Amino acid sequence: MRHDFLVVWGERGLLLSGLGNTVVLSLAATIAALGLGAALAPGLMAARGRYRLAFTGFVDGLRCIPFLLFAYIVYYGLPSLGLNLDNWTAGLAALTIYNTAYMAEILRGAWATQPRDPVDAGYAFGFTGVGHFRRIVLPPLLLSAAPVVGNQVIQIVKDSAFLTVIALPELTHAASSIQSRHYIPFAAFITAVLLYWMLCLAIEAGVACLGRVAEARR
Amino acid sequence: MSDAGTAGLSAARPVLTVAALSKTFGSLAVLDNINLKVHRRETICLLGPSGSGKSTLLRCINWLEKPDSGQIYLNGERIGVSRGGVVMADRDLSSMRTRIGMVFQHFALWPHLTVLQNVMAAPIYVLRRPRAEVRAEAEDLLAKVGLSDKRDAFPAKLSGGQKQRVGIARALAMRPELLLFDEPTSALDPELVGEVLNVMRKLARDGMTMIVVTHEMGFAREAASRIAFLDRGRIVESALPEQFFLTPATDRAKQFLQRYAGNGSWQAGQFSELHPGGPP
């Protein structure tokens, strides 16, 4: 067993590059999904029936598809519609679009519990449109949604493991290569698990930091 | 403020003119043909039972509520509707709103910003004034409302009275032509009401043009240049404070004042406490 872990240690370059790719993928998908989710959230809140229905349909529809299936559709399915994406683009797109639905729903939920008065005050003081959203609405929204967004980021990290099926060289893919090369599944996968674990601890530490920022304002 | 001064100014163009303003929520007429003129340096107190439309009137003035009919003019410029008779573009409405300050019942401070940032935000991001100048002015304003030591605190850490004083400083930082107060002391503990009213009294004395929705009869009697009494969406009485409080013309106003007399909120005892020298 000790020998197995030494073999994994010998392949640390591969593992670390996988870890790096997982971090890059998750980070990019988080930022993009949060941005797109913030753009969609007003649509989810819109009073007008038809827009609201369209947004709700999109969000609920996506949330009810297993991510693995969604990744298959983006990478293997879209080419038959004439859209060929390389595995990085497909993987990042799948991860982003899929989590946009969650982020939009999280922000909508947080929005619904925000007091109305400061929002009105924003309008009364002349803020409009995007400026109003960015300066007045979004910051308290993000602070109050931070713990739930943090959970979703952990979900993104874990979902990114599925992208091994489209040969994206992320952490799970790296562990899988090591085990098949050396026939040491336990050591390879446990190491990957520990690395995912550390990543989640780092995310939770970040959320705790944001929590303290929010607490000072509550 | 002397009556002669007010009378002299009333020939000039009013700061605010509300003409035939009506607003309904569903089948309920909240505002019914409201007409109101406010001149420079005047403090108008809007009194009336709850549900009489006072707050809705304030919110219609800066178009936080869209009126159903009627016109509102700020220093001669129509609010909310452009020349062609169409609803104003956001940008135009915004620039009208920046000229009207508003103080909210529940403070409505922006929770993610410090006290100083709350005061500076709109002058910097909406009016696009230089940051250094805005900061100096914001610090002066906070000193004026007695909150210099709280400038880096977040609103959540302040008492209600402190929050409302920040709310007033935030409104003043816009250098408004007109200041609207929507029940500024209704959400405060009784012992905190005085500190807010003191600031408002000082503004009235300094010649700020204000409309104050309030249930503080002592303040209205002492600081108002005129009282407008609303009942069921109509201004049923508009009078000088002494006249309104001593010889109200309508039965509705008499009943209303009797209710307040009953709980003593504006009677002699409290009045002289607010105004140690006795009534003017």
Last residue of a domain, one of B141, B159, B175: B175
Q: Specify whether B89 is located in the same domain as B218.
A: yes
**Mutation site, A114, A125, A136, interface B, largest B CB count within 10 A:** A125
Q: Specify whether B62 is located in the same domain as B9.
A: yes
Q: Residues of A with CB below 8 A from B104's CB? A: 117, 120-121
- What is the CB-side half-sphere exposure of residue B253 using CA atoms within 13 A? 22
Last residue of a domain, one of B160, B175, B190: B175
pLDDT at position B262 = 59
**B98–A126 C-beta distance less than 8 A:** yes
pLDDT at position B270 = 45
At A137-171, the pLDDT tens digits run 989 998 999 999 999 999 999 999 999 999 899 99
pLDDT at position B27 = 87
- pLDDT grade for A17, boundaries at 50, 70 and 90: very high
pLDDT at position A45 = 77
- pLDDT grade for A19, boundaries at 50, 70 and 90: very high
- A216/B contact by beta carbon, under 8 A: yes
Q: Residues of B with CB below 8 A from A125's CB? A: 97-98, 102, 121-122, 126, 170, 174
Q: Is residue B52 part of a domain?
A: yes
Q: Is residue B280 part of a domain?
A: no
Q: Residues of B with CB below 8 A from A217's CB? A: 111-112, 154-156
Q: Minimal Cα distance from B122: which residue of A?
A: A125
From the list B109, B111, B122, the residue facing A126 with the nearest CB is B122
Q: Is residue B76 part of a domain?
A: yes
- B153/A contact by beta carbon, under 8 A: no
Q: Is residue B194 part of a domain?
A: yes
From the list B95, B104, B111, the residue facing A126 with the nearest CB is B95
- B126/A contact by beta carbon, under 8 A: yes
- B155/A contact by beta carbon, under 8 A: yes
DSSP A75: I
**A143–B126 C-beta distance less than 8 A:** no
- φ/ψ (deg, to 5) at B235: -85, 105
What CATH number is associated with residue B35? 3.40.50.300
- B53/A contact by beta carbon, under 8 A: no
Last residue of a domain, one of B127, B147, B175: B175
- B102/A contact by beta carbon, under 8 A: yes
From the list B93, B154, B174, the residue facing A125 with the nearest CB is B174
Q: Specify whether B16 is located in the same domain as B134.
A: no
Q: Is residue B279 part of a domain?
A: no
Chain A closest-CA separation from residue B120 CA (Å): 11
Q: Specify whether B91 is located in the same domain as B187.
A: yes
Q: Specify whether B29 is located in the same domain as B121.
A: no
Q: Specify whether B228 is located in the same domain as B161.
A: no
**A143–B108 C-beta distance less than 8 A:** no
Q: Specify whether B25 is located in the same domain as B61.
A: yes
- B66/A contact by beta carbon, under 8 A: no
Q: Specify whether B110 is located in the same domain as B148.
A: yes
Q: Minimal Cα distance from B94: which residue of A?
A: A126
- A122/B contact by beta carbon, under 8 A: yes
Q: Residues of A with CB below 8 A from B118's CB? A: none
Model-level ipTM above the cut of 0.90? no
**B125–A131 C-beta distance less than 8 A:** yes
| Residue showing tokens 């609803």 | B87
Q: Specify whether B118 is located in the same domain as B81.
A: no
- Going along chain A from its start, the domains and CATH numbers come out as 16-171 (1.10.3720.10)
Q: Specify whether B38 is located in the same domain as B117.
A: no
Instruction: Provide the residue-wise pLDDT of chain B in tens; the chain has 280 residues.
Output: 444 444 444 468 899 999 999 999 988 899 999 999 999 999 999 999 988 999 999 999 999 999 999 999 999 999 999 888 889 999 999 999 999 999 999 999 999 999 999 999 999 999 999 999 999 999 999 999 999 999 999 999 999 999 999 999 999 999 999 999 999 999 999 999 999 999 999 999 999 999 999 999 999 999 999 999 999 999 999 999 999 999 999 999 999 999 887 554 554 444 444 444 434 4
Q: Is residue B219 part of a domain?
A: yes
Q: Residues of A with CB below 8 A from B98's CB? A: 125-126
Q: Is residue B250 part of a domain?
A: yes
- A130/B contact by beta carbon, under 8 A: no
Q: Specify whether B194 is located in the same domain as B89.
A: yes
**B126–A126 C-beta distance less than 8 A:** yes
- What is the CB-side half-sphere exposure of residue B10 using CA atoms within 13 A? 12
Q: Specify whether B184 is located in the same domain as B95.
A: yes
How many domains, chain B?
A: 2
Distance, CA of B112 to CA of A140 (rounded, Å): 6
Q: Residues of B with CB below 8 A from A216's CB? A: 154, 156-157
Range of the domain at B140: 100-175
